[in-house]
Structure 1
Amino acid sequence: MKILGYSSPDKQNDRIIDEIEDINVDVVPGNNVNSQQNSEADTNVPSDYPRGVHKNDASSYKPTADGKFICLETKEVIPYTYVNDDFCDCKDSSDEPGTAACPNSRFYCTFQWPGHDPQFVPTSRVNDGICDCCDGSDEWEGHLVPPQIRITDKSKRYSIFQAPCENRCARVIRQLDEEKHIRSIGENIKKEYLEIGKGHSNEFGPDGAFYKLSKVCFPFQTPEYQYTVCPFKMVKQQHFPRPGVTIGKKPVWKSMTKGSYILEMTDGDRKLCPNNGVRSTTIYFLCGLNDKVIKIMEDEKCRYIAKFSTPAAC
């Protein structure tokens, strides 16, 4: 999921969380197999249970008096030293919560979001070089992505974070708090959009919330191109002095639910497109205080993605 981050109401659309990768934060160090790293954002996490176990389940991972571990579902009994030894001994996979040895097992991140459902990743993603947990606790061995597939261009990373992992939890929490504040303001502004859109439901989103956008065109400049985005009407790309190219003109809603407003502008120009296909632009409407294009990129040949900030999406 892409989340807008904000530094102030005047710059609310200048940052997207998946593009902020240059802030100086601590690298998460490795730790031993049967203890958990204390997160920067949660210093009360106990360390007397195996890595990858949610603290609410800690009692299930205590060794018996004679140093055994009882598999959670199948009740097999194995030496406690077999827990997180990178070999799957329990048929229910419960002995390897912190490694990728067992199928169908979960790794619970050391840091857990306050007030949210438990955060976990499939153990198949543990130590694969990709930082899935915001605290990097899933990459405790510090393996790096192989050089031949490692992404080095920051502009192409999107939301992928590669080991060595940074502890992003405190930063993300701040951004989520700021987003919540902006969303509250945006929902109030949205009332004006709903008033204007009365009688234009479905075609222009729920209760016609996006109708106002259909009356205006929005410019966006990149180093190479000038774009003009007219939601529900046309998206154009211009590289002066060459003629402009239409990269979408027929609106089709792909998603119309809160938090996921996606409009595809299809039926663009065909010239130079593979297999005589047509150009299209997918517009992701994101909650923001102003109507503004915040990013356009060519995701693949003749397929464009635009991110658009607007109170209509709040």
Structure 2
Amino acid sequence: MGEFELIRHYFAAAPCAQGGEGVALGIGDDCALLDLPAGEQLAISTDTLVAGVHFPTVCDPLLLGQRSLAVAASDLAAMGATAIGFTLALTLPVVGPDWLAAYADGLGRMAQRCGMALIGGDTTRGPLSITVTVFGRVPTGLALRRSGARVGDLLCVGGYLGSAAGALPLVLGQREAPAEVAAPLLEHYWSPLPQLHLGERLRGLATAALDISDGLLADCGHIAKASGVALEVNLAQVPVSAPLQAFLGQEAAQHAALTGGDDYVLAFTLPERALSSLASQVHVIGRVLAGQGVTLRDPQGRDITPVQRGYQHFRETP
């Protein structure tokens, strides 16, 4: 099957490729065309997933389709953007009809959940890798950024942490667990739901935000550096799900919540007065202080900040 036939058969005809609000022209021409309302800016982000690095080489393509769009769309949530559409660049070692059909199905399911349209892309032959570029819109001046945290703000997250890192032994087949424990962890790993609605609600409220992809402590370090402040995280306030604690035990579950990647939950700072309008979706885990860096404190107030704070793709070696 040639490139153009592949695109037409598995992707151009998919329900998620039939356009949507903000899409003036989708698949079929040299470029897609997007319409933006007056007074709004275009938000763009790209994520690449590589087999054997970001996901197991052998895995369910339907789940992979869901995950590959979700992790990219999470960046739109982190900016407070309303999702519009996405492009897909797919590198395949072979063209397998069953694999492609399942992958396209998973991709379409996540696109529907996120309200996004597939508007273009590319296919080529090579080691399996997936690059998704997402497009969203946000009112001018209201995009959430990493650089606005202020001393006295609360440090918050939008959900339980560590579930995806905890699921990794299950994903890799290294451990087993009862269905009631394994299912929610695997769901969070393979189908993280981008917090797009929360991101939109944070416009004009949050002073800084990002999505947690490399670990809470590591990613909070980006806010601290960009904002020129210090962030203090209270261990006892970091939310960990019951299935994760049942699977790993309390200490290991807390470690996963602090340093594990792939959560795709929003971390953000906001003035205390803004908390009441978001309380049902927010876990307060610390505060913004004068200084620099990120500090983790135990219930007694002692500094227990670990040396390794999260995942790094390119780590320097001694």
Same fold flag (TM > 0.5): no
What TM-score do you get using the length of structure 1 for normalisation?
A: 0.27
Q: Comparing both chains, which one has the higher relative contact order based on Cα–Cα distances under 8 Å and sequence gaps of 6 or more?
A: 2
Q: Which has the higher helix share?
A: 2
Q: Which has the larger radius of gyration?
A: 1
TM-score by length of 2: 0.26
